[in-house]
């Protein structure tokens, strides 16, 4: 029986190889442009995915991950706008740090992100937690904090935006201290007791915060949530024991969230969390290339090697691709005029952002 | 613990791992020597290769590169006067001055030994990371970090020099350069002139290379001949060893300063190196030799910079917060091998922790030894006409600068700051305070803002703050008491006799620079009023003294004016050629302007024979393309004629 299985596996492997050799990307090489520095979370994720795409894309193309940091990712994205090849062999792999300036219409943005095609996307969940010194024991009790809540962040218009918007949705009175150089130093400030409420993304949550929670030095609150039927209400598989922001609102107010605050949060949070790391292609990329990526994503998700590795790194998160993913990302990238006005007003009045 | 240490040592002595460690070390040595390319470039180049190795070998390779860069950069700084990496700018000042006096061996010997000690102190700190270093990092909250920045500023104040107005104006100019880009406090982008390039502010590498490297190259090209007019003996290391031993405590103190600098997240080796250099000046009685070749300056800065890169690994390994840019890449590599740094990793994988300690310690020693071995060969380079070395040197600096964002802006900035550095050099403005102002303005603003936001003013009474403040207050009190006693005993203050033999500054250049700086400050003053109040504080700290100082300097410049611009006409021509080269790179891409520059340098300046020049030029050109290829893959493409 075992022999039969191995033979079948070998045959299957041969079949995929044969299929792969004359696939769309045969003999090509793909450049993955990461608009952040080497060693950053986005670069590491791109390197993590690289071997799986090389293995599963038809034609087994060679993949090069290239960092192009600068301008808070704007320089790298502008470079992509000017230099991307239309055949799908240049990918812009980036986060909401590129999406938010585009959505808000900031100065210096030359890239047309909402016109790009979406090759694949990887969730990048975030978990909120507080210090036990606040006396808060669960999400519902967040308003009964015994100390004023202090949140540390980098900049309002960058990846801190969904976190700040979640405070608006929940109606929390949080003092935001912006100006840290990264989320790492914020974590250090939390450990030192300088800030007492924080959000961290999946890898840091799993490796840094979970141990703190076990030692009783941090109290987990909620996650940003995951998409379900076009609404950001499901629980994040990274921490399924925690409610989503949507659920927390429901518990607090007895009704589902709605209104401009929620629309703004959902739009920004979905490109930050549910589609946190997205690979974009040139607007004229052929459908064949997009189909190839969609098929590769399916194969990668089914690859036991990937499943085992992702369990350690991202809590078992899966890639997504295809028309549904693309539609959701494009919807978030072109918000209604009300949402855009709300965001711009909030940012300029509360956080002093100039447009 | 000892068990784990021995197991790790045994693991490291696997031939494959040792080979990886030393391969990394060789790459690190080469990149340390190339000005503008340092640990970050070395580690980025090695990154793709480590995935072919097992985890311990791959990490050993990166560590080999990281821990030797600040040893080998001493060679470039001393022999060429262009900082091998931004953090060795003080070594370039003092060491190159010594090299010109024929004392290169002494400068290099002290530099290598101090680097080695810095590396070993860093390893020792890493060894005790869990029981000692970790708690110290946790004690350093934002108020303490702000105080540390103030201490840095206090030490740096000794670099101002004799001409108080010019020194202070240079420092203010440095701070002004440092605040370009995103404000820490509120969402303002300051002085960006709508250029996306400036959104991140200036890169430290480019500022250090421009102010020191480019200006130095210009002067040496104009002088002609070799770097040293005297024969450079670098076989006699005895003096170096004796000097090192005489200043061993200074080296040790500097290493500890470096270690503290490493604990502060995201502050690189530059800041702590300058602080250590400032400490060397303060603790030296006869300060007259600083800037003209003081061995203590080298001992302090080389001890500090190597200690910093290694203790950068403490916050990286204990808290997943990279202490510096090279540590950030190392952190990424740890992630990709499935190690997630944090207190847990350190207790779960003690072998890995000790493997890291042994790797950096071993590389520090072997790296220094290797530097001693290769230097006599490299020193011969200093006898050949400088124009021959200048061609590859300028091109390597261009590549180094281009690592920042890979846009043409990097190259423009390099040569524009080079022009500024040249003006400062000839206008009699000290460049060290400018670089220190640049390095410290970011952390000072950030930590002041965070501190005041989080703690109000109550932070002033924190015990950590008071302890650090005593570093400033106690020396001030001691020197105050000493002055008082001298005054009481009516003792004449015996200032060391001024033995200033340096050539007088060029009056026309001084006036030009003062006018330029005054214009910059006045414009900055005007733009500052459009910022959020919180973003104004730091620029105003530079502008408030900057405006009156530069206006005074303009006034003084007009009064003392002499039409002596022609004296430096030769250097001005070279500066103009380099600026034209940058413009041509932008317009028609890399190939043609680079070939033209090579022709001009080799044929016109170095007066090489045609066929030798052609052969040498071809080798240099090929090497440059190779470097572009391994580092990035695409050299600048012309905007007018799309050639590359």
A44 reaches B (C-beta below 8 A): yes
CA-nearest of A156, A202, A207, A230 to A318 is A202
Query: Are A188 and B340 a contacting pair at CB < 8 A?
Result: no
Name the domain boundary from A271, A289, A307: A271
A308: its two tokens:
């085992």
According to the model, what pLDDT value does residue A72 have?
A: 75
**Is residue A79 domain-resident?**
yes
Phi, psi for B559 (deg, rounded to 5) = -65, -40
pTM of the model: 0.81
According to the model, what pLDDT value does residue B615 have?
A: 93
DSSP annotation of A90: E
Interface test with B, best of A185, A186, A212, A308 (most B CBs within 10 A): A185
Give the ipTM of the model, two decimals please. 0.77
- H/E run at residue B560: none
Tell me the chain A residues in contact with residue B453 when contact means C-beta distances shorter than 8 Å.
175, 177, 179
pLDDT > 90 fraction of chain A, expressed in percent and rounded: 51
Query: Are A211 and B450 a contacting pair at CB < 8 A?
Result: no
Nearest residue of B to residue A185, measured between CA atoms: B321
**Which residues partner with B611 through β-bridges?**
none
B282: its two tokens:
């303060």
Q: Which residue has the higher pLDDT, B346 or A284?
A: A284
**pLDDT tens by residue, A64-79:** 888 887 777 888 899 8
Query: In degrees to the nearest 10, what's the CA dihedral of B595, B597, B603, B604?
Result: 160
**Is residue A341 domain-resident?**
no
**Is residue A327 domain-resident?**
no
A253: its two tokens:
């107010």
The domain that holds A146 is classified in CATH as 3.40.190.10
**pLDDT tens by residue, B414-448:** 999 999 999 998 998 988 889 888 888 888 888 88
Can you list the alpha helix ranges (DSSP code H) found in A194-336?
A: 202-204, 210-214, 245-253, 259-269, 287-302, 304-314, 323-333
**pLDDT tens by residue, A271-295:** 888 888 999 999 999 999 999 999 9
Which residues form the domain of A47?
A: 2-123+275-321
Query: Are A191 and B319 a contacting pair at CB < 8 A?
Result: yes
**Is residue A171 domain-resident?**
yes
A142 and A256 belong to one structural domain: yes
Task: Scan residues 105-164 of A and list those with Cβ closer than 8 Å to B.
Answer: 107-108, 150, 152, 155-157
- H/E run at residue A50: helix A41-56
The domain that holds A286 is classified in CATH as 3.40.190.150
**Is residue A351 domain-resident?**
no
A211 and A110 belong to one structural domain: no
**pLDDT tens by residue, A22-48:** 688 988 889 999 988 766 778 878 888
> Structurally, how many domains does chain A consist of?
2
Interface test with B, best of A54, A63, A71, A180 (most B CBs within 10 A): A71
Q: Within a 13 Å sphere around the CA of B43, how many CA atoms are in the beta-carbon half?
A: 27
**pLDDT tens by residue, B382-423:** 777 778 888 888 998 898 888 877 788 889 999 999 999 999
**Which residues partner with A130 through β-bridges?**
A197, A219
A48 and A109 belong to one structural domain: yes
**pLDDT tens by residue, B507-552:** 899 999 999 999 999 999 999 988 888 788 889 989 999 999 999 9
A44 and A156 belong to one structural domain: no
A146 and A263 belong to one structural domain: yes
A10 and A101 belong to one structural domain: yes
The answer to whether B68 touches B32, Cβ cutoff 8 Å, is yes
Average pLDDT of chain A is 86
Query: In degrees to the nearest 10, what's the CA dihedral of B139, B142, B147, B150?
Result: 140
DSSP annotation of B133: I
A136 and A203 belong to one structural domain: yes
A82 reaches B (C-beta below 8 A): no
**Is residue A239 domain-resident?**
yes
Name the minimum distance, in Å, from the CA of A198 to any CA of chain B: 14
A241 and A224 belong to one structural domain: yes
**pLDDT tens by residue, B268-284:** 678 888 889 988 988 88
A252 and A292 belong to one structural domain: no
Find which of A44-48, A115-119, B179-183 is predicted with most confidence, using mean pLDDT.
Answer: A115-119
A230 reaches B (C-beta below 8 A): no
């Amino acid at each position: 029986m075992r022999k039969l299985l191995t033979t079948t596996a070998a045959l299957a492997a041969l079949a995929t190889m044969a299929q792969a050799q004359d696939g769309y990307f045969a003999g090509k090489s793909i450049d993955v442009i990461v608009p952040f520095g080497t060693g950053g979370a986005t670069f590491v994720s791109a390197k993590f995915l690289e071997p799986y795409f090389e293995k599963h894309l038809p034609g087994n193309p060679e993949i090069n991950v290239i960092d192009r940091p600068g301008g808070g990712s704007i320089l790298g994205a502008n470079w992509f706008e000017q230099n991307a090849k239309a055949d799908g062999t240049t990918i812009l792999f980036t986060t909401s740090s590129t999406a938010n300036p585009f959505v808000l219409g900031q100065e210096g943005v030359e890239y047309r992100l909402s016109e790009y095609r979406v090759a694949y996307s990887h969730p990048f969940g975030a978990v909120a937690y507080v210090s036990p010194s606040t006396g808060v024991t669960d999400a519902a009790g967040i308003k009964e904090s015994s100390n004023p809540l202090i949140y540390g962040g980098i900049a309002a218009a960058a990846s801190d935006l969904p976190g700040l918007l979640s405070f608006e949705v929940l109606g929390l009175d949080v003092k935001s201290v912006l100006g840290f150089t990264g989320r790492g130093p914020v974590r250090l400030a939390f450990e030192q007791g300088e800030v007492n409420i924080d959000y961290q993304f999946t890898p840091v949550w799993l490796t840094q915060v979970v141990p703190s929670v076990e030692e009783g030095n941090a109290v987990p609150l909620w996650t940003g949530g995951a998409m379900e039927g076009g609404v950001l209400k499901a629980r994040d598989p990274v921490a399924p024991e925690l409610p989503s922001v949507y659920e927390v609102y429901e518990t607090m107010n007895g009704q589902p969230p709605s209104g401009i605050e929620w629309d703004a949060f959902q739009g920004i949070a979905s490109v930050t969390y549910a589609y946190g790391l997205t690979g974009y292609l040139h607007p004229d990329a052929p459908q064949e290339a997009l189909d190839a990526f969609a098929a590769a994503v399916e194969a990668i998700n089914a690859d036991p090697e990937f499943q085992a590795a992702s369990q350690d790194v991202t809590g078992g998160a899966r890639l997504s691709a295809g028309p549904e993913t693309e539609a959701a990302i494009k919807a978030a990238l072109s918000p209604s005029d009300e949402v855009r006005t709300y965001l711009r007003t909030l940012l300029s009045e509360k956080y002093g952002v100039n447009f | 613990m000892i068990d784990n240490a021995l197991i790790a040592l045994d693991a490291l002595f696997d031939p494959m791992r040792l080979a990886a460690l030393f391969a990394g070390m060789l790459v690190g040595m080469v990149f340390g020597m190339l000005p503008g390319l340092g640990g970050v470039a070395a580690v980025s180049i090695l990154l793709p290769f480590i995935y072919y190795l097992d985890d311990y070998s791959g990490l050993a390779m990166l560590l080999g590169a990281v821990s030797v860069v600040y040893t080998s950069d001493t060679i470039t700084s001393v022999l060429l006067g262009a900082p091998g990496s931004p953090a060795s700018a003080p070594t370039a000042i003092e060491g190159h001055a010594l090299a010109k006096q024929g004392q290169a061996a002494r400068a290099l010997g002290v530099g290598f030994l101090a680097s080695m000690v810095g590396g070993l102190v860093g390893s020792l700190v890493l060894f005790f990371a869990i029981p000692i270093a970790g708690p110290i990092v946790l004690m350093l909250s934002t108020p303490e970090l702000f105080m540390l920045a103030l201490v840095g500023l206090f030490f740096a104040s000794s670099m101002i020099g004799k001409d108080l107005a010019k020194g202070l104006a240079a420092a203010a100019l440095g701070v002004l350069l440092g605040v370009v880009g995103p404000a820490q406090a509120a969402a303002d982008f300051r002085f960006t002139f709508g250029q996306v390039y400036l959104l991140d502010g200036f890169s430290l590498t480019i500022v250090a290379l421009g102010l020191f490297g480019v200006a130095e190259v210009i002067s040496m090209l104009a002088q002609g001949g070799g770097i040293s007019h005297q024969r450079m003996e670098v076989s006699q290391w005895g003096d170096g060893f004796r000097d090192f031993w005489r200043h061993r405590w200074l080296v040790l103190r500097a290493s500890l300063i470096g270690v503290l600098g490493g604990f502060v997240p995201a502050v690189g080796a530059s800041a702590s190196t300058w602080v250590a250099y400032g400490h060397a000046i303060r603790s030296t009685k006869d300060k007259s030799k600083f800037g003209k070749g003081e061995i203590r300056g080298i001992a302090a800065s080389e001890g500090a910079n190597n200690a910093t890169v290694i203790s950068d690994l403490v916050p990286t390994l204990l808290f997943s917060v990279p202490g510096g840019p090279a540590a950030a890449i190392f952190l990424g590599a740890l992630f990709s091998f499935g190690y997630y740094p944090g207190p847990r990793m350190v207790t779960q994988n003690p072998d890995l922790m000790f493997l890291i300690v042994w790797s950096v310690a071993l590389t520090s020693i072997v790296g220094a030894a290797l530097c001693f071995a290769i230097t006599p060969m490299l020193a011969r380079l200093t006898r050949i006409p400088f124009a021959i070395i200048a061609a590859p040197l300028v091109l390597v600096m261009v590549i180094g600068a281009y690592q920042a964002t890979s846009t043409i802006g990097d190259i423009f900035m390099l040569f524009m700051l080079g022009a500024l550095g040249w003006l400062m050099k000839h206008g009699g403005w000290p460049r060290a305070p400018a670089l220190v102002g640049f390095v410290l303005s970011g952390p000072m603003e950030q930590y002041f803002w965070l501190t005041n936001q989080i703690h109000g003013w109550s932070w002033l009474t924190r015990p950590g703050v008071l302890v650090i403040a005593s570093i400033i207050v106690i020396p001030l009190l001691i020197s105050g008491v000493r002055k008082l006693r001298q005054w009481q005993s009516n003792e004449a203050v015996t200032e060391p006799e001024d033995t200033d033999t340096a050539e007088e500054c060029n009056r026309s250049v001084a006036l030009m620079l003062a006018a330029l700086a005054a214009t910059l400050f006045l414009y900055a003053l005007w733009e500052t009023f459009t910022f959020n109040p919180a973003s104004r504080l730091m620029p105003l700290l530079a502008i408030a003294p900057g405006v009156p100082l530069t206006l005074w300097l303009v006034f003084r410049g007009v009064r003392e004016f002499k039409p002596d611009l022609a004296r430096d006409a030769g250097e001005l021509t070279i500066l103009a050629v380099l600026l034209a080269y940058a413009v041509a790179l932008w317009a028609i891409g890399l190939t043609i302007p680079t070939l033209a520059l090579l022709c001009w340098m080799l044929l016109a300046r170095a007066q090489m024979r045609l066929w030798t020049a052609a052969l040498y030029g071809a080798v240099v050109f090929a090497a440059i393309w190779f470097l572009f290829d391994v580092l990035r893959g695409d050299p600048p493409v012309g905007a007018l004629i799309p050639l590359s």
